[in-house]
Structure 1
């Protein structure tokens, strides 16, 4: 995503796109989407309770990508299976009671 964002920004600034404003906005949006998993991972590492939502959203976004790879067929099927397995496994770990307890989320927890 970051690479595509850089390309879109470059084309928007130095190239000749149909709409420079749209290319630049798209590039910035892709940079932000590329930063989301990194910010969520850092928050989880630091035990921040807000980070579970963005981490789950990232895993949910990976599932349609896996389906698209699977639909492509050929060698992409292996990549699709690996991506889907990783997304499902991480999602399961994020909602695991041990993880929710470590993040201070769940029944019986007091607001911090």
Structure 2
């Protein structure tokens, strides 16, 4: 990986860490960024972005977590989208998914696609 790629990856990771800290108070060890290719970036966040989600999952309400995320997603977009566009350097489309909700290894996977 080139120095420029590493710095770019770190800028994205720092912003993702900022978002995670805003919601969970968790540190950078919970965020991984992978440059899949020139147009695709994958961000993996260990755990779930809110303490409420963790409580709901422990109480067996995974369906409520999915509904909760439908509300949280637009809030995250309003709060951080401009900063993410500035960090990535262009507009992008993205998708996200919650993985292994009912297991300890649960995570949020966000894929950014710069080919918009």
When the two structures are superposed, what TM-score results if normalisation uses the length of structure 1?
Answer: 0.30
Larger radius of gyration: 1
More helix as a share of residues = 1
When the two structures are superposed, what TM-score results if normalisation uses the length of structure 2?
Answer: 0.29
More strand as a share of residues = 2
Relative contact order, higher structure (CA 8 A, sep 6+):
2
